[in-house]
Amino acid sequence: MPRLRTAIPALLIGLSISSLFALERSAQRDFERVQAMYQNANLAEAKVEAELFLIKHPSNEHRSTVRFIRAETQFYYNNYQAAIDDYKLILRDEIDPVLRAESLLHMGICYYYLKTYHQAQESFQTLISEYDFESYKHQGALWMARIFAEGGQYLSAKRYYEIALPGIHDNSNVRLEMFSVLLNLREISTAIRMLDNLNPNDPGRLIFPYLEALLSFYLRVGFYDDFDGAQLEYRITPENSTNAIRLLNIRRWLLENNYDNAQIYLSALTESSDTATYYRALLLRGRGFTPEADYILADLVGSSDFDIAVMSYFERLKILFESDQQAALTQLQNFIETNPQSNLLGEAYFLAGSLSYQRNEHENALRYFSRSKNYDLTAFQKERTDAMTGECWLMLGMNNQAEENLNRYLNLYPKGLFRDRAWFNLGITSFQNRDYNQTKSRLYALKTRHPESKLIQDANFYLAESDFFLSNYTIAAQGYRTLLDLHPTDDALRLRLAQSLYFNQNFAQALSVVDSLVVENRDSALLRANIHFNRRQFSAALESYQRVYDLSQNSVQQTEALSYKALTLYQLGRFREASDLYLELSGTQANPDTYLFLAAKSAMQSGNTSQAMDLYDRFLTQFPDSAHLYNVLSDMATIDFNLSRYGSAYRTWASVLRRYKDKTGFTQQERQTLREVFSGIELCLSRVSGFDEAEDLITMIDLFSSDYIKFELQYILVKLYADRGMWEMLLNEAESIRATAGIERKNEIELLMAESLIKLNQTDQADSLLAGIYTESQSIPALLKWAELEILGEDYQSALEKLRTAYAATREPDIWIRMLECSEYLEFQSYSEIWELGSEYAEANPWSLTSLMRYNLNSEDLPAARLAAINILDMNLSDYYYAQAYLVVAETDFRLDNFQDAIRSLVRIRELYPDFPDIIKAASFLQIKSLLQSGAISEAQQLYWESLNILDEDQILIINNKLESLR
């Protein structure tokens, strides 16, 4: 404001001198009094006198000048709206062009401080375009630049700064603003050149504000390596810097918990401040001095710096959380609810997510993290949020979502602070999914890329476990030995080592390790018994199995121990005792093959498949003609299948089936066995990667005398061809068997034929076939396939009618979803009616919520569309749903002419979701339109050229037409 006051007196004198002698004496005195008070900076008195003048002399020719003085005093006292009202009245009068230009400039500045940027832009644009005063053009350009910088339209801001700079006499602050704009445009090399061109003879006064801006930018966007590099480049040390730079360094090192470096910069501060005190409290807390830190933070909660006060309050909540978790979360939630406009809401939601995570309330954590993304977060917080989102899904047991988010984190943050943890958690998801090879790959990535990570030991344990479950017992044993060197008293590791040695048939070493255990438990006793058994020390094994029984804690464990005892008795030749045990367990009569069969069954049921397969192999050797043979072979095939040995499982099931090649009639039990065999063969064929097994099946079909077996095998082939997309072969095979199939199987076969015809683009034949199936059987699956065919042909009206019929018969949610899709294609025909038919399914089907959101948007019900979007953001869904919701929020802002809000949302969408091309395309198009509407033409053109490769022809035409209209 002082700049304005010193500039105006000469203006006022110049305006008044021509009519000085024409004024009435009273009006003249009053006018001179107003002038004198204003020139002497008695603004309060000047305001009062100006108001009295306007009351006493409402028609005086100097009313505009007096009103201008009043407006200036209003401006000085931050009464911006009152000042604007006066400026508007001034501009209605016929006044000197200089006073008009000055009024426009000051009115625009008032609008700027009221954050009504659109009106501010109109004022400055008028000033620039309609008045031929260079100084005002430069001033107008300066404030236009500031508006665009405030809104994040840095390209337009840069253009206006370039116009303003030559006309600003003392432009050091403006050049610094320009420097910040260049950084935000990522024109870092240009900014650095600007920094390097500063006067080398006066480095202290000039360079440090630029270095502060540069380091602050690097810290804000997470460029930690560049932050460190800049300090080396410009020789910044704790001693050779400013307090602002020292504070940035403290913050930077606290992010990585490097308390030693943080302390060095804290000790170098030359002035006290609440920010420095806050960092000192964080440092104390990080080093374990929590009571001392809490004492300081309690005082800072009353700081006049609102941000420091709130951040101190948050830190105190973290301390409270250590003793009373619920109280801390309750207070934090109260803060969120009572401070809806706080600029630290993002910080609050981030903290709520972190505390909920620590409390194992992972669903709440996900919800809070999702909400935090709607606010401005630091680069560290954005990265931490994305990293912890994957961890939350992992803790919830939702491994697919965990993998999606963890991989997304690794893609988005190639130099992230938490990449080691992401690799580790990806390894855990693979381990939980029993994909042990993938577990090893991911954990080795952790070890090679982050050799200094604190997670290396945990990774080594899961690597050993993975090798154990992959039967790589030698490698697993090496891993357990390495871990035991670090944890020599860990009995669990020692037992795992003994088990690895046992499965590697190093029985003597395994027994030695078991004997070294400090505490005996059931697992170690069982391992000792198994070692004795495999060394054919059956008497010792029998005693050990009894010990296992004594240590058993439930009936399953007792059953397992007794079955081992029975088998051991059998090996000792004590068949009657073994028979007694089996009779106790199963109630069957004792005989040698039954003993062995049941022993194998018990081992398999307990999960000890390795032992079970050993026993089954012995069974096949000793009892090849036993009545249990088919069941034994079937069980062996099941074990092979469960161990992913699909080829071996297929051969076993095929060998069972060949035993029926000459039979034509079957008992009920035999049919049950055959159904299990067919199911096993089909499953194996669906899992093997090659075609050898299928070719074996084709050649095997003609071996059988039974039409029943031939049909079932051909039907398996038909389904296999469908799974592998071999549509021509499917049609040929299906045509040969559908005439002999029963009604149910015939419908299934014909549906597969229809699928083949669709895949082969023979849509007319598929349509005819499906029509015949439905006419003959009223089959709902056929009707649905028919609707699917019509959707492919874009006959959505007919498809919708068929889906309505199917839904009325089944009330299946998936059919309801397809109905909504068709309605959308038909420009939301009957949408509300369809929605009501299945609204109870909406919560379990997130896609339907996005559909409702689009319907409301299409219906111009913007509040409902926005509410639907916000509801989606409050649910634990995938990022793709969140991206769609944020896009609708931006669309509603755009349609309500809230262009700056729309732009902010769209910038955030493009930053957070670069991995969703359709979202980026829509967001880019809408952002370009928003920029054009807001007046940021340069920004819009820049984004337009960057987005040309993703925009479609219609979007390009719309933008070109808009740009043409603005030229």
- CATH superfamily of the domain spanning 1-132: Tetratricopeptide repeat domain (1.25.40.10)
Structural contact between residues 530 and 502, judged by C-beta atoms closer than 8 angstroms:
yes
Amino acid at residue number 725: G
Token pair of 628 as six digits? 């249990």
What pLDDT is recorded for position 591? 60
Tell me the pLDDT band of 579, cut-offs 50, 70 and 90: low
User: Does pLDDT of 9 surpass 60?
Assistant: no
In the predicted structure, residue 787 carries a pLDDT above the cut 90: no
Overall average pLDDT of the 623-629 stretch: 80
Non-local (6+) Cβ contacts of 223 within 8 A are: 217
φ and ψ at 963, to 5 degrees? -65, -40
Alpha helices in 43-167 (DSSP H): 43-56, 63-76, 80-92, 97-113, 117-130, 134-150, 154-164
pLDDT at residue 893 greater than cutoff 60: yes
Lowest model confidence (mean pLDDT) among 23-32, 219-228, 449-458: 23-32
Does residue 13 carry a pLDDT above 50? no
Round the CA-based radius of gyration of the chain to a whole number and report it.
40
Cα pseudo-dihedral 408, 412, 416, 420, rounded to 10: 30
pLDDT, tens digit (0-9, with 9 covering 90-100), for 651-672:
888 888 888 888 888 888 888 8
**What is the rounded CA–CA span in Å between residue 465 and residue 468?**
5
Q: Is 50 exceeded by the pLDDT of residue 673? A: yes
Indicate whether 534 pLDDT > 80: yes
- Predicted confidence at residue 742, as pLDDT, reads 61
Q: Which of 155-169, 508-522, 603-617, 679-693 has the lowest mean pLDDT?
A: 603-617
pLDDT(7) > 50? no
Residue 887 CA to residue 906 CA, distance in Å, equals: 7
On the 0-12 / 13-18 / 19+ scale of CB atoms within 10 A, 698 is middle
Mean pLDDT of 897-915: 91
Exposed, middle or buried by CB within 10 Å (0-12, 13-18, 19+), for 92?
Answer: exposed
pLDDT band with cut points at 50, 70 and 90 for residue 739: low
* pLDDT band for position 884 (cuts 50, 70, 90): very high
Least confident of 94-108, 120-134, 196-210, 393-407: 196-210
CA distance 172 to 213: 14
Question: What is the per-residue pLDDT for 738?
Answer: 62
Residue 843: C-alpha distances to residues 815, 847, 868, 875 (Å): 16, 9, 12, 9
Instruction: State the alpha helices, DSSP H only, in 396-506.
Output: 399-412, 419-432, 436-449, 456-469, 473-486, 491-503
> How large is the average pLDDT for residues 398-422?
93
pLDDT for position 725: 72
Amino acid found at 602: S
How far apart are alpha carbons 663 and 706 in whole angstroms? 6
Residue 785 CB neighbour total at 10 angstroms:
22
CA distance 158 to 191: 12
pLDDT tens, 911-926?
A: 889 999 999 999 999 9
Lowest mean pLDDT across 558-562, 765-769, 845-849: 765-769
pLDDT band at residue 259, thresholds of 50, 70 and 90? very high
Residues 493 and 187: their CA atoms lie apart, in Å, by 55
Give pLDDT, residue 20: 44
Q: What is the pLDDT of residues 827-839, one digit of tens each?
A: 999 999 999 999 9
Residue 892, pLDDT > 70, answer yes
Residue 570 has pLDDT above 60, yes or no: yes
Within 8 A by CB and 6+ apart from 821, the residues are 791, 851
Residue 771: both structure tokens together: 């029509």
Q: Which of 15-19, 76-80, 89-93, 864-868 has the lowest mean pLDDT?
A: 15-19
Q: What is the pLDDT of residue 546?
A: 93
Q: What is the greatest pairwise CA distance in the chain?
A: 138
Contact 370, 873 (CB under 8 A): yes
What is residue 48's predicted lDDT score, i.e. its pLDDT?
Answer: 73
State phi, psi for 94 to the nearest 5 degrees. -80, 105
The span from the CA of 921 to the CA of 883, in Å, is: 12
Per-residue confidence (pLDDT) for residue 657, from 0 to 100: 82
The confidence band for 727, taking pLDDT boundaries of 50, 70 and 90, is confident
154 vs 114, 147, 160, 376, 939, CA distance in Å?
A: 21, 10, 10, 17, 7
Domain boundaries, the chain: 1-132, 520-627, 648-741, 769-841, 847-967
Compute the mean pLDDT over every residue in the chain, rounded to the nearest whole number. Answer: 85
pLDDT, position 22: 44
pLDDT for 523: 93
Q: Which CATH architecture has domain 847-967?
A: Alpha Horseshoe (1.25)
Pick from 504, 592, 522, 503: nearest CA to 560? 522
CA 591, distance to chain mean position in Å, is 61
Lowest mean pLDDT among 532-546, 578-592, 837-851: 578-592
pLDDT at 595 (0 to 100): 60
Residue 200's pLDDT band, with cuts at 50, 70 and 90, is low
Structure tokens at 451: 């050799």
Tokens 């009295």 belong to: 52
Q: Exposure of 504 by Cβ count < 10 A (0-12 exposed, 13-18 middle, 19+ buried)?
A: middle
Class of domain 520-627: mainly alpha
Mean pLDDT computed over 107-111: 93
- Assess contact for 141 and 164: CB atoms under 8 A: yes
Q: Which residue has the higher pLDDT, 503 or 583?
A: 503
Report CA torsion sign: 243, 246, 251, 257: negative
Q: Do domains 1-132 and 847-967 have the same CATH topology?
A: yes
Confidence bin at 42 (pLDDT 50/70/90): low
Contact 413, 404 (CB under 8 A): no
Give dist(CA 116, CA 934) in Å, integer.
Answer: 12
- Name which residue leads in pLDDT, 462 or 595: 462
Rounded to whole angstroms, the Cα distance separating 34 from 27 reads: 11
Decide: 700 and 717 in contact? Cβ < 8 Å.
no
DSSP assignment of 317-368: HHHHHTT-HHHHHHHHHHHHHH-TT-TTHHHHHHHHHHHHHHTT-HHHHHHH
Average pLDDT over residues 26-51: 71
Q: What is the mean pLDDT of residues 637-645?
A: 83
CA distance 31 to 23: 9
pLDDT confidence bin for 17, thresholds 50/70/90 = very low
